[in-house]
Each structure stands twice: as structure tokens, then as C-alpha cells.
Structure 1
Amino acid sequence: MLVDFTAPVAASPAEVEAAAVSAEQVGYDGFAAAETRHDVFTTLALVARATTHITLQSGIAVAFARNPMNVAVLANDLQLISEGRFRLGLGSQVKPHIERRFAMPWSRPAARMEEFVAALRAIWRTWATGERLAFRGEFYRHTLMTDFFSPGPNPFGNPPVELAAVGDLMVRAAGRVADGLLVHPLTSADYLGERILPALREARGGSLDGFSLAMSAMVVLGADEQQRARAEQAVRGQIAFYASTPAYRPVLETHGWGDLADRLNGMSRRQAWADMANEITDDVLDAFAIAGDPAAVAAGLHDRFGSAIDRISLYTPYEADRYQMAAVRTALRKD
């Protein structure tokens, strides 16, 4: 597996830039930035200028907050600035955020995402070949492109498109139109093997050749017992937060934990965030996170995901010890 570094979600653009420089210096293969408090494309433009060889990924950019033309331009520019090192990671977000935070339309997200990527590729094809832009879909129509607004063919080619997916419909959409899948941190080995991989293979005609799977995996690390205890509590809280979202209920159902999903969803509606971590039992924690010293964490990641995942990063919703993380990276590469 290639080992990537993911920037802290609350980091400023300047802090993300510094983290990327450090990640490249110590030998990570790739660097990902999320879109939470800042625009991921602006942040990665800084990163692209500050680094030379590490790959860069939007992990994720919110597709439905934009339209295919916006994203086509932004991704094309980042591919130019990074000289071919960019990987376009897209996600749908969930309905309340799209409708109430972004004031954008929401309907049939898997079908909309599949068409979004098809439109994106049609725009890139027009720029590369000069052919007339004539994309007409159910959700998007792009039928105008003049020379004045066309950047022309990208000398580094188009960036790979990777979709974040959890549910069956979105996984299948990724298999049909994307170059890779971004596996959600709330993914167990059972859910990956029983639900995601079969759906992908069916969507792709049986083969995953040329298709990339990347995952940010939750881990519990700490240099001493006190640090590990804080890390474990933070991970329990993050699992509870994700598991409270109805879109992730199928993951819990795979393990017979549908009632937990319902309970957590109810608690989230009551804003009982502080109590939700206590609902995450040791069995649930073990299904979605790997704990231990760096060697044990690396071995656990390799055992669970090594046969399917091409790229992996460590999801640490706490301030992780950088030496511990570096030791995991080193151990993963030895495996």
C-alpha cells in the first residue's frame, strides 16, 4: 500500500501547506486535504506550489456545492499547477448540508454524481479535442464553450477522478464512471469485503484492474497510556458521530448494530454529543478502528485491508504523536 498523510480538518490553508511540506520531506507518498472550514482547491493550490513530488488529493471536494464546469476548471488548474500530481476526490455530502448550507439542489445523489462525472469528462474532452460541447443530461446541461474560455488540452492530462462512497448505489456509480473509490473511515473489513468490493466488481464487469481504492483508517495511537486513553475516547466519539448519520446505517447493519444507529441518530437530534461516545462498545470500536503500538497498528491495517486497499492514511481525530505515525508508516512499508 502507498501511505498518504491527511491534513487536520481544522487546519488553516497555511497550516495545511506546512503539513504538506513536512509530509513530503519525511517520505509520505501522497497528501490529502478535506473541505470543511476552507476551500480545498485554494488550499491545495498553495500545497502544489510548496511541494515537488508528493501527490495531492481533494479528500473530498463537495461536488454538489458546485457544478461540473466549476469543478472542471478548478481541477484542470490544480493539475497544471501541480504538474500532474493532482487526484480529484469528490463527495456528495448529505442532503441537509447541500440544501441548507449551500442552498443547492439535492435529488437522487448517486445518479446525480454519475452524471456529474460524465459531464466533467465531456468538458475536459472538449478542451482537449476542440469538439463541440454538447452534454445534455437529466441534472446538468453544458452546451456552450468558446475558444476564449477554453484552456485547451492539459499537458499533464486530466487528473484521476475518485468518488467517496458508502452505500451500494454510490459505490456502483463510482465503479462505472470514476478512476477510484475513497473508502469512508467508518468502514469495517466485513463491510468492505461483503458490500463494497462485490458491488464494485459487478459495476466494472468483474475486474478492478486500473481502479484505485484509497482509505483513511481510524487508529488509536499514543506514546503512553494517558495519550492512548485520550485517543481512544476521541475515536469513540468520531465513530458515534458518523454512525448517527442515516446514510451510514448500512455499515452498522452489516454487524447487526442497526439499533445502535437509531439510538445515536436520536441522541444527535437532541444534541447529546457528549454522551454519544459512551454508546460505542469495545466490539464497535474494534470493528472500525485499530489500536496498539505502531507495529500492531500497521499489522492490523495490513491484515484487514492490505489485499484490497491501494492507498491508506491514518485517521486520527485527536492530536497524534508524529513519531508514532511515522513508525506506523515505516512498518506498513516493511509489510
Structure 2
Amino acid sequence: MRLGLHTGYWKAGPPAGAAEAVAWADAHGIDSVWTAEAYGSDAFTPLAWWGATTSRVRLGTGIAQLSARTPTATAMAALTLDHLSGGRFVLGLGASGPQVVEGWYGQPYARPLARTREFVAIVRDVLRREAPVTAPGPAYPLPLPADAPGATGQGKALRSTVHPLRADLPIHLAAQGPRNTALAAEIADGWLPAFLSPALDAEARALLEEGFAARSATLRPAAEFEVCASVPLAVAGSIAEAVDLVRPHVALYAGGMGSASANFHRDAMARLGYAEALAEVSAHYTAGDRERAAAAVPEELVREIALVGTPADIAEQVARWERTCVTTLVVQTDPRALPALAPLLAAS
């Protein structure tokens, strides 16, 4: 199991120590660094900026939102970064949720699985560069039909002027529900789960096998499929102290990253048996009481989805993750802590 670093969402500005952590990761054999986007900073620019001083570490979007860019624009950014990094870019994609897609991008959220399938197919066509890119739609028709609202009828199928460095540039999908987890195994090169737990490993493996059964022979073999799981990490003098450090993170995702009726992060954690507690967390968060929301996060839930406690505690917990389908443990922590944490995780 390899080790990665997730630099996380930006708050008011760039995360302190992120540039130094990326450079350290590159120099010390960390597998990958990942960036995020919601409705502030984007996922591509930090990789280009921080990654410019690196030569070995893989650079992944974790995740780039489908609705933020057209499939062809996403492919352009991906092939550009892949050239600039010497073939180290990983395109992580995700559908996000209706609050962001409809509220921030002004796009309809309906049929996210079908849209994901169309989106990935177009990106792969751009990267293969075998012919001018066409797509039937309905979400992303190329060229735009002449009878579409506002169309001039002069659209032309085009092929990228730039030859991609890798026609098989890896595409990973963020997925939390059962159907899109299986979809990742069917059409992508990797899965980016969040709020996974070793307790759900058998279920995760079954869903991946379902997707592998429908996988095209033109893609990488299933044996090369990656599972890069984002896992919060907090070191403290005890497990209880470390749990308290992670509780606000869980409360944010359970209560603030989605609506009352559609929160995929909360749904993922609820599969561990904490639906009632998470409903309380969400209610407090929605009411504006973030302190009570964090306090309502069960300690047992945090211990299932995070690495928490003393160095000895974390070493024991990492050993449990090594027995799962996860191929890269992507830790979510203060980037400034990476030099101290990496030896601990490797030693375990």
C-alpha cells in the first residue's frame, strides 16, 4: 500500500505548508499528491504551481468536478499537465452534488452516472486522438446540433492539435454510492473513495468486481486498477484527543457538504450504521451550531474512517487498512505534518 497526501480544500487562501509538503513528498518517495475543488480554488492550478518544482511524485485532482468544465476542456487541462509533468498526472473526476452543480455552476444535476459515462468517453476520445471527436449526447453532444437553442449550425468535429503524451492517461472516479463505485471499476483506471472503512472492504470488493465484469478489454487490466482512499489523520496523546481533532471535519461533510435530502458523504458514513447520529450532526450544522455538530459525531465513527491517536495507535490502524482493497492511502492532514508522519506510516 502506497502513501499519498491530500492537500484538501482551501479556506480563505492556500493551505499553509502545502508547497513545502509537495516538495518534501517528491524528495522522499511519497506516491502522489492530490488537490480538491468545491466553489473556491480549482484543482488544476495548484498542481501546476506546486508540481513545477517536482520530478517524481504523481499529481492528481481529487477531484475535478464534472460540471466545472466541458469534457474537452477537462481533457485539454489533463493533457497539458501531463506534458508539463512528464507523464505524472492523474485525472480524478467526480460529479459533486446538486447544491454545488446547480447552485454554483448553474447546471442540471440529473442523471449523474449517465453524464459521468459520457464525460469519460469524450475525454478518452480526446486523449486517443484517433479521429475528430464526436459524441451523440444527450448531456455533451459534439458538435452541438444545428437545432440546439442558440446554435449557428456551423459546429465542426475537431481533433486536439496537441498530441497527448499518454493516450492512456489514468482517469480515476470519485464514488461513494454502490452504483457509481461499480461504474468506476467499469470505465475508469482507479477509484477515489472518501469515508471508506476497513469494515466495508468486502462490500467494496464486491462492487468493484461487479464493475470489472463489464470492463472493456481496451482499458487497463483490472489487476492494475487503483484504489486511492482519502483518510483523515490526527496524531495526539490519546485516541480520544485525536478524535476530537477530526470531529469538525466529519461534521462539515455530514452537515455542510450537501443538502438535507442529498448528502453523499453523509450517506457513505451512514452505511457504517450511524444514520441516526449523523442526522443529529446535520441538524446542528444546518442550524448554525457547528460546535454541537462536531460534539455529536460518534467517536466510534471517527475511528472507523480515520487514523487517530498516538503513533503506536496509528501504526496498528494502518495495518488494518493494508488488508483492504486500498492501494494508496491518501492522508488528509496538516501538510506541515507530513515529514513527521510519513516515516510513521511507512514503518507500520
Partner of 2:164: helix, strand, or coil?
A: coil
CA RMSD of aligned residues (A): 2.5
Would you say 1:272 and 2:289 are equivalent positions?
yes
Runs (5+) with no aligned partner, structure 1: none
Which of the numbers 214, 221, 226 marks the counterpart of 1:212? 226
The residue that corresponds to 2:89 in the other structure is 86
User: Residue 162 of structure 1 contacts residue 174 of structure 1 at CA under 8 Å; is this kept in 2?
Assistant: yes
The residue that corresponds to 1:329 in the other structure is 345
User: Residue 16 of structure 2 contacts residue 336 of structure 2 at CA under 8 Å; is this kept in 1?
Assistant: no
- Percent sequence identity is 26
Q: Relative to structure 1, is the Cα distance of residues 304 and 146 closer, same or farther in structure 2, using a 3 angstrom cutoff?
A: closer
Alpha-carbon shift at residue 73 of structure 1 (Å): 0.4
Would you say 1:283 and 2:300 are equivalent positions?
yes
The residue that corresponds to 1:168 in the other structure is 178
Alpha-carbon shift at residue 257 of structure 1 (Å): 1.9
TM-score normalised to structure 1 length: 0.86
After superposing the two structures, state which structure 1 stretch, 159-168 or 260-269, moved more: 260-269
Map residues 239-250 of structure 1 onto 2, 5 A cutoff: 239-244=250-255, 245=258, 246-250=263-267
Partner of 2:93: helix, strand, or coil?
A: strand
Equivalent position amino acid for 1:142 in 2: L
Map residues 172-187 of structure 1 onto 2, 5 A cutoff: 172-184=182-194, 186-187=195-196
User: Residue 57 of structure 2 contacts residue 88 of structure 2 at CA under 8 Å; is this kept in 1?
Assistant: yes
Residue-by-residue CA offset, 1:167-218 (whole Å, 9 max, x unaligned): 012112212211100011x222223432x22111111118841211001212
Alpha-carbon shift at residue 90 of structure 1 (Å): 1.0
Distance of 1:169 and 1:51 partners within structure 2: 36
Alpha-carbon shift at residue 13 of structure 1 (Å): 8.4
TM-score normalised to structure 2 length: 0.83
Residue-by-residue CA offset, 1:24-77 (whole Å, 9 max, x unaligned): 123312111222532221211123321111111111111222110110100010
Residue-by-residue CA offset, 1:120-148 (whole Å, 9 max, x unaligned): 112223xx22x23221122111233446x
User: Residue 115 of structure 2 contacts residue 139 of structure 2 at CA under 8 Å; is this kept in 1?
Assistant: yes
The structure, 1 or 2, with the larger RCO (C-alpha pairs under 8 Å, 6+ apart) is: 2
Distance of 1:266 and 1:77 partners within structure 2: 43
Map residues 98-109 of structure 1 onto 2, 5 A cutoff: 98-109=101-112
The residue that corresponds to 1:67 in the other structure is 70
Q: Relative to structure 1, is the Cα distance of residues 304 and 54 closer, same or farther in structure 2, using a 3 angstrom cutoff?
A: closer
Alpha-carbon shift at residue 230 of structure 1 (Å): 5.9
